Amino acid sequence: MGNAFDASEFLAGFLVEAEEHLSASTTNLLAVETSLRKGENNPRAVRELFRSLHTIKGLSAMVGIEPIVDVAHAMETVLRKADRAAGALSTNAFEALLAGLRAIGERVRALSTSAPVAPAPPQLLDALAALEITQDASPATVELVLDAGLSAKLSATEKAQLLQGAESGRRALRVDFVPSPARAAEGTTITSVRERIGAFAEIVKVVPLSIPASDTAPGGLAFALLVLTDATNEALAAAAATQPEHVQVLHTRRVDGADPLAEPEAAEEDVGEGRKRGIVRVEVARLDDALERLSALVITRFRLARAVDALAAQGVNVGELGEIVKGYGRQVRDLRGAIMRARMVPVAELLDRVPLIVRGLSRATKKPVRVVIDAGKAELDKAVADRVFPAIVHLIRNAVDHAIESPAERRRLGKPEEGLVRVTCFERSTNQLELGISDDGRGIDREAVAHRASRPVPADDAGLLDLITLPGLTTLDHATKTSGRGLGMDIVKRAVVELGGELSLGTTPGAGTTFTLCIPLTITIVDAFSFVCGEQTFVAPVAAIEEVVEVVPEALVRGPSRHTRFGEVRFMERRGEIVPLVNLASVFSLASREEPKALVVRRNGAALAFGIQRMVGQQEVVIRPLEDPLVKVTGVSGSTDLGDGRPTLVLDLVALSGALSQNRTEVPV
């Protein structure tokens, strides 16, 4: 039939949706485990987990992936029982559900690579079917005071969630909202009220209620929002466009023998206006294509500006044309901002998988480890995120496997048995991000590392970092399942350097280690300085340059070694700091000229200045990386086109300063 349903058309959308719901499911299941350790239930996490799996099951059925349907259905059955038992889950149930998520994830990944999808594991289905979820036999001693109509519309999990919140010190409240045409005309609807209240309160349930029709309620409809919050009645009333007297405290009372969490015979589903997510999913390939076309516009802008300058040099009046070119430049910059914002992903979303990774490493090494993630609202280009995540995983793996001590050793040292791994992230500037991975372990033994590397003991953390990132170096005698092959730190450094970033280290024996990754927010189109050195034009990203300074020849001091392979090294004073000055033309064996200006960069806290002839300007440039290993040179990260049709080298001055400080042979001469 010509109108036959073709599920393959929906496959891309299914994969995106499934990944999102798997990520949410993992987060909620780990929240359940955290509550289990405290001896508590987590009814909200159980309910959210149930919803995610229900969606995965429906999507999988739509595209005909029956193995995922079977696993999700078995997990859903367990969670439905747990939901009726106020979110109660045993450790065995948690482990079986975690295995179920892994099984679903494996089949989603197989589908994404067009590999055969394995059937649902019979042992897993049997284990899930054998689980028994029982409610605490002891009668509840506290219940919510609710009117019968409202109580009948709440599930056991929702009642438990409200009780749990109230007992933990939060305020359990009911906020009534009555919709009307007048309020809708002002933009106040149940959707906008939910969004405003949800910004500072936990909404447990929105219950529609029938009320007598009146002038203020012409539709005879009201909504009761049941929330947990620390906010005042006035703040809630303002968010709901109502009066403070319409905000009621949900009181509790002691009961004898009754079970207030019993499931009602029929609970109506939460109805009302659905939330408008305002999200359109777009394949990354389409964003890449848009960025590529934008790159062509950037180069065209350079060429247009050059053509206008040439006409002006011939005496042509280009005043009006010049204004048009300036306007075009502003529009291209705005377009760049819009496309880059579309490519950005929250760092918190990137780090969603970290808790599960740490949990697996903790079980493999038999070390209890807690992970704390503080990513704030930082965002990162999707291409950068994909390239930096393996480096983050390597650092976390090393922290758990190498740095965190065994429970017995931590007890002997007076530390908590549970180790700590902390991942932090914040925007260092408008175009640079700083990621930190730290632990409270034993620190790095300088002598042991130097012995394994057959090198002198490093004097500082920068020297230690250079040692541990040597290819093939490992401090383990035998490789384990997680590390010991001598590849991790070399991969981390290479990933950061190839992004044009910087890796630094801080370690204290017995207290822990911190690795800091400074990486650009984006790597394709960047703001850059163009400058002339040895009669040749170069480009360097603005983010890598700390300052552009004037060089005063009379104030320079010559170093003890005047004739190095990089030319003469001199020193300049900059705000009380002595900074080495190297002629950039000499580094690249170009014709050396006067160097009235210098570009100051900083690596591992140490500043270095590169002398240049003159600055040309600052502009957006499209960086084309040098992929061929035969033409890769330390200090050169790629090329760009400034509108003259000729390639202009893009310099990585931070990497170049590192090579100069170590006097490496790969530095171009």
Answer yes or no: are the C-beta atoms of 622 and 524 closer than 8 Å: yes
Q: What is the CATH number of the domain that holds 502?
A: 3.30.565.10
How crowded is the C-beta side of 192, counted as CA atoms within 13 Å? Answer: 13
C-alpha atoms less than 13 angstroms from C-alpha of 429 in its C-beta half-sphere: 12
- Residue pair 83/89 in contact (Cβ under 8 Å)? The answer is no
The torsion angles phi and psi of 454, rounded to 5 degrees, stand at: 55, 45
Q: Do 442 and 460 share a structural domain?
A: yes
pLDDT of 485 above 70: no
Q: Are strands 606-612 and 577-583 parallel, antiparallel or unpaired?
A: parallel
Report the C-alpha gap between 640 and 646 in whole angstroms. Answer: 8
Structure tokens that stand for 96 in this block? 């079986």
Tell me how far the alpha carbon of residue 310 is from its chain's centroid: 46
The CA-CA-CA angle for residues 541, 547, 551, to 5°, reads 120
Same domain, 620 and 541: yes
Task: Specify the pLDDT at position 565.
Answer: 60
* CATH at 60: 1.20.120.160
pLDDT at position 286 over 50: yes
The alpha carbons of the chain give a radius of gyration, in whole angstroms, of 31
| Plot region of 473 (φ>0 → left; ψ -120 to 50 → alpha; else → beta) | beta
- Band (pLDDT 50/70/90 cuts) for residue 404 is very high
Tokens (6 digits) for 599: 């570009």
| pLDDT score of 482 | 52
Query: What integer pLDDT is reported at residue 572 of this predicted model?
Result: 87
More reliable by pLDDT, 664 or 537: 537
183 confidence band (pLDDT: 50, 70, 90): confident
Q: Pick the last residue of a domain from 520, 549, 584.
A: 520
Confidence of residue 618 (pLDDT cuts 50, 70, 90): confident
What confidence category does residue 267 fall into, taking pLDDT thresholds of 50, 70 and 90? very low
Residue 454 domain flag: yes
Has residue 284 been placed in a domain? Answer: no
Task: Based on the fold, state whether residues 475 and 609 are members of the same structural domain.
Answer: no
Question: Do both 147 and 119 map to the same domain?
Answer: no
CB atoms < 10 A from the CB of 177, how many? Answer: 24
Residue 561, pLDDT score: 54
Closest residue by Cα to residue 597 from 620, 613, 580: 613
- One-letter amino acid for residue 22 of the chain: L
Q: Is there a single domain that holds both residue 501 and residue 364?
A: yes
> Whole-prediction pTM value?
0.65
* Shared domain check, 335 and 395: no
The reply to whether 80 and 156 lie within a common domain is: no
Query: Lowest mean pLDDT: which of 159-173, 467-481, 489-503, 576-590?
Result: 467-481
Which domain range does residue 631 map to?
A: 525-662
Angle, nearest 10°, between helix axes 11-37 and 354-365? 50
Model confidence band, residue 115 (pLDDT cutoffs 50, 70, 90): confident
Residue 496 has pLDDT above 90, yes or no: no
Which of 232-236, 479-483, 631-635 has the weakest average pLDDT?
479-483
Q: Each residue of 526-553: pLDDT tens digit? A: 888 999 988 889 999 888 888 899 988 8
Q: Tens digit of pLDDT for each residue in 47-94?
A: 888 888 888 888 888 778 888 989 988 898 888 888 777 777 888 888
Q: b/e per residue, 129-156, with b = 16+ CB within 10 A?
A: eebebebeeeebeebbebeeebeebbbb
Q: Provide, for the chain, the percentages of residues in helix, strand and coil under a 3-state DSSP scheme, each rounded to the nearest 5.
A: 45, 25, 35
Average pLDDT on 507-519 reads: 91
Helix axes 354-365, 382-398, angle to 10 degrees: 20
CATH of the domain at 575: 2.40.50.180
Token match 């500043």: residue? 607
The predicted model gives 569-579 an average pLDDT of 85
Q: Work out how many domains the chain is built from and give that number.
A: 5
Looking at residue 514, what is its pLDDT?
93
Q: Tell me the range of 153-167, 434-448, 637-651 where mean pLDDT is highest.
A: 434-448
Task: With a cut of 50, say whether residue 271 has pLDDT above it.
Answer: no
Do 493 and 571 lie in one domain? The reply is no
Query: Whole-angstrom Cα distance, residue 644 to residue 304?
Result: 10
Q: Using CB atoms within 10 A of its CB, is residue 447 exposed (0-12), middle (13-18) or buried (19+)?
A: exposed
The mean-pLDDT minimum among 162-166, 321-325, 501-505 falls in 162-166
CA–CA distances in Å: residue 469 to residues 268, 487, 499, 632, 657: 60, 9, 17, 19, 17
pLDDT above 60 (res 667) = no
Mean pLDDT (whole number) for 270-290:
62
Helix (H) / strand (E) containing 146: none
Q: Three-class SS of residue 204? A: strand
Decide if 123 is inside a domain: yes
| Model pLDDT, residue 481 | 52
Residues 529/615, Cβ–Cβ less than 8 Å:
yes
Structure tokens at 581: 């000055």
SS (H, E, C) 171-206: EEEEEEECCCHHHHHCCCCHHHHHHHHHCCCEEEEE
Q: Do 462 and 597 reside in the same domain of the chain?
A: no
In order, the DSSP letters of 393-431 are HHHHHHIIIIISPPHHHHHHTT--SSEEEEEEEEEEETT
CB-CB contact of 101 with 25 (8 Å):
yes
Same domain, 372 and 512: yes
Q: State the DSSP code for 555.
A: G
Q: What's residue 262's pLDDT? A: 42
Whether 260 is in a domain gets the answer: no
How far is Cα 630 from Cα 498, in angstroms, rounded to an integer? 15
Contact between 439 and 399 (Cβ < 8 Å): yes
- Confidence grade of residue 521 (pLDDT, cut at 50, 70, 90): confident
**pLDDT in the model for residue 174:** 87
Of 12-21, 137-146, 324-333, 645-654, minimum mean pLDDT range: 137-146
Measured N-to-C along each axis, helices 319-343 and 284-313 cross at an angle, to the nearest 10 degrees, of: 160
Of 305, 339, 373, which marks where a domain is finished? 339
Plot region of 92 (φ>0 → left; ψ -120 to 50 → alpha; else → beta): alpha
State residue 552's pLDDT score.
85
**Residue 276 included in any domain:** no
In a domain, residue 281? The reply is: no
Which amino acid belongs to residue 264? P
In a shared domain, residues 428 and 473: yes
Q: Is residue 325 part of a domain?
A: yes
- Looking at the DSSP assignment, which residues form a beta bridge with residue 369? 419
DSSP 168: T
Whose CA is closest to 652, among 560, 557, 590, 584?
Answer: 584
Strand partners, 229: 171
CATH assignment at residue 157 = 3.30.70
Residue at which a domain ends, from 339, 361, 376: 339
C-alpha torsion 120→124→126→129, nearest 10: -100
The pLDDT score that the predictor gives to residue 255 is 58
Question: What is the average pLDDT value for the chain, to the nearest integer?
Answer: 80
**pLDDT score, position 276:** 43
Q: Is residue 2 part of a domain?
A: no
Q: Which has more pLDDT, 461 or 156?
A: 461
What is the predicted pLDDT for the residue at 410?
Answer: 92
d(CA 424, CA 373): 6
Q: 509 and 371, same structural domain? A: yes
What would the pLDDT profile of 352-390 be if each residue is shown by its tens digit? 888 888 888 888 888 999 999 998 888 888 888 888 888
The SS3 call for residue 594 is coil
Percent of the chain with pLDDT over 90: 8
Angle subtended at Cα 508 by Cα 503 and Cα 511, rounded to the nearest 5 degrees: 115
